[in-house]
Amino acid sequence: MKKTCPLTNQAFEITDSDLEFYKTMGVPEPTLSPNARHQRRTAFRNERSLYQRTCSATGERIISTYPQNAPFPVYSQKYWWGDSWDARDYGQEFDFTRPFFEQFKELMAKVPRFSCTVNKSENCEFNNFCESSRNCYLSQRLGNSEDVYYTYLSIESKDLFDCYNVSRSSLCYEVIDGENCYNLKYSQNVTNCSDSAFLFNCRDCRNCLMCVNMRNAEYCIRNQKVSREEFEEAVREVDYAKMREEFMKAKSRIVVPEIWGTKLENVSGNYLSECKNVFESFDCRFCEDIKYAWGHIYGENSMDTDFSYHVKNSYEFVAGSKDDNIRFCFSSFESHDLNYCMDSMNSSHNLFGCISMKHGEYCILNKQYKREEYEAMLPRIIEHMTKTGEWGEFFPIELSPFGYNETVAHEYFPLDRSIALERGWGWKDKDDVVPGVSGMILAADLPDVAEVGEEILKTAIKCEVSGRLFKIVPKELEFYKKNGLPLPRLHPDERYKRRVEQRAPRVLFERKCAKCGKDVRTSYAEGRLEAVYCEACYLKEVY
């Protein structure tokens, strides 16, 4: 079945298996294209914009994803998780004469929200979507990690600085898509590598420098075997700035596979690992029977799910962990049987249109009902929302509490400020004030790291690209000095942006294998410098 998205005017297909899934979930077929649905969901996810404000309950200074002028109360993590308040106190009757989203907007304006998503963590106030970690700073999507700085997606890792998607690794700097690595710098798509720098698509390598597509190598420079003494001499004399420039040029001209991934069966997308029957999805691991997903880890039988961990049997869901049977929700942990909820935690279940529930059950718009009452009202609400055209649609972007440019949506579906405001999606101007520092130095005037003293910690640095101010913190300075690395000249947001740009986009293109001419679907568009090979040709090339 072919449909046309009313938002983008793009045609998209709904397959028979899609229809079967929608029937199982009890939802109508979607009206928007997959990308438009991604945009709508991710417009509710602010990962990187943090504010200093006060807790609405205690008055204490806190770090939050919501600014001081947020339209609803914002509580510190400790107070939100405590027993001093109950989200059901804000409950309201469902009005069958009015649209549901209109009523939900009223509930959003009064129910307290937690400051940011940091759970079971220590000394991690300046992070977001952080679980069971300690001593981390300005990082997002952390799990079981320690001493992680300026990093996006770290799992079971330690001592990471400026990394993206790194797991079970330690002592890494500027590593993108790494697993089981140690003491690695300026590397990408690496597995089981150590004591090396400037590696691209290497596995089981150690003591290597400026190498691409290498396997089981040791003491190599630019893919050539050298003696241990030659290697150590080269490392002592390396100029990181010049070699990074050479590395960026070299890796843009190499052979790449149609899909980055391992142990795949019947899949389409990119950056997939140990997946089966996973389609049109990106950055997914250990998933089966998944479609239109981003960042789904340990997923099963779900569609349109983003940034989720151990989630199954769900649809149109973003930001969840250990959930089952979720529809049209944002942020849920260890819960099941939820519809149109936000921030539902700690074994909540059988909720409809609820916000900030802990251990909640059989509630509608945060109002408590008996099980029999809840089960009787649910089909009536679905029938009402079907008539208003709301059932089957995720929350409208107009309900997002964030400016569009603060969200993941703007990262992958960028818009001009004027267009976002015209659509009523909001916009936030960035605040360049760096707290707790005095003076300023231009990034271009930064001295060599060996010449820097403690005074740099009290100085604001002006990014040489964006002009935004940033600071260096003690642990960070210690790392740069110990490893002989140059001081950063770019704001953390600019550094993050450049890491993202080095990865292939979350889009698929039709093209031919550059070796055999076979049809492939890949994230590398025609016209790029990389040569894209099908799986068979690529394996012959690197092994």
Q: What is the DSSP string of 155-180?
A: ES-EEEES-EEEES-EEEEEEEEEES
- Asked if the structure places residue 317 within a domain, the reply is no
- Asked if the structure places residue 64 within a domain, the reply is yes
249 and 147 in a single domain? The answer is yes
Looking at residues 148-161, what average pLDDT do you find?
A: 96
CB-CB contact of 413 with 423 (8 Å): no
Continuous segment of H or E residues that includes residue 1? none
Distance (Å, whole) CA 43 – CA 407: 5
pLDDT at 392: 97
409 and 528 in a single domain? The answer is no
**What dihedral angle (degrees, nearest 10) is formed by the CA atoms of 331, 336, 340, 345?**
-40
104 and 202 in a single domain? The answer is no
Share of residues in the chain with pLDDT > 90 (%): 87
CB-CB contact of 486 with 176 (8 Å): no
522 and 416 in a single domain? The answer is no
142 and 243 in a single domain? The answer is yes
105 and 175 in a single domain? The answer is no
- Asked if the structure places residue 55 within a domain, the reply is yes
Q: Is the pLDDT of residue 432 over 70?
A: no
CB-CB contact of 187 with 210 (8 Å): no
Looking at residues 135-144, what average pLDDT do you find?
A: 95
pLDDT at 515: 94
In three-state secondary structure terms, 18 is: helix
Model pLDDT for residues 376-423, shown as the tens digit of each residue: 999 999 999 999 999 999 999 999 999 999 999 999 999 999 999 999
CB-CB contact of 271 with 281 (8 Å): no
Q: Is the pLDDT of residue 483 over 70?
A: yes
Distance (Å, whole) CA 394 – CA 30: 10
The CA R_g of the chain, rounded to the nearest whole Å, is 24
Burial class (CB in 10 A: 0-12, 13-18, 19+), 539: exposed
Number of helices (H) and strands (E), helices first, in the chain?
Answer: 12, 35
Q: Is the pLDDT of residue 251 over 90?
A: no
- Asked if the structure places residue 308 within a domain, the reply is no
pLDDT at 433: 58
523 and 460 in a single domain? The answer is no
- Asked if the structure places residue 307 within a domain, the reply is no
15 and 141 in a single domain? The answer is no
Model pLDDT for residues 184-205, shown as the tens digit of each residue: 999 999 999 999 999 999 999 9
- Asked if the structure places residue 302 within a domain, the reply is no
- Asked if the structure places residue 431 within a domain, the reply is no
160 and 230 in a single domain? The answer is yes
CA 11 vs. chain centroid, Å, equals: 27
> Terminus-to-terminus CA distance in the chain, angstroms?
42
pLDDT at 543: 78
Distance (Å, whole) CA 87 – CA 91: 7
Per-residue pLDDT band for 138 (boundaries 50, 70, 90) equals very high
Which two three-digit tokens encode residue 511?
């093209």
218 and 253 in a single domain? The answer is yes
pLDDT at 346: 81
Domains in the chain: how many in total? 5
DSSP 8-class letter at 366: T
Q: Is the pLDDT of residue 430 over 90?
A: no
58 and 147 in a single domain? The answer is no
pLDDT at 211: 96
- Asked if the structure places residue 528 within a domain, the reply is yes
Domain span at residue 474 reads: 440-502
Looking at residues 455-467, what average pLDDT do you find?
A: 91
18 and 73 in a single domain? The answer is no
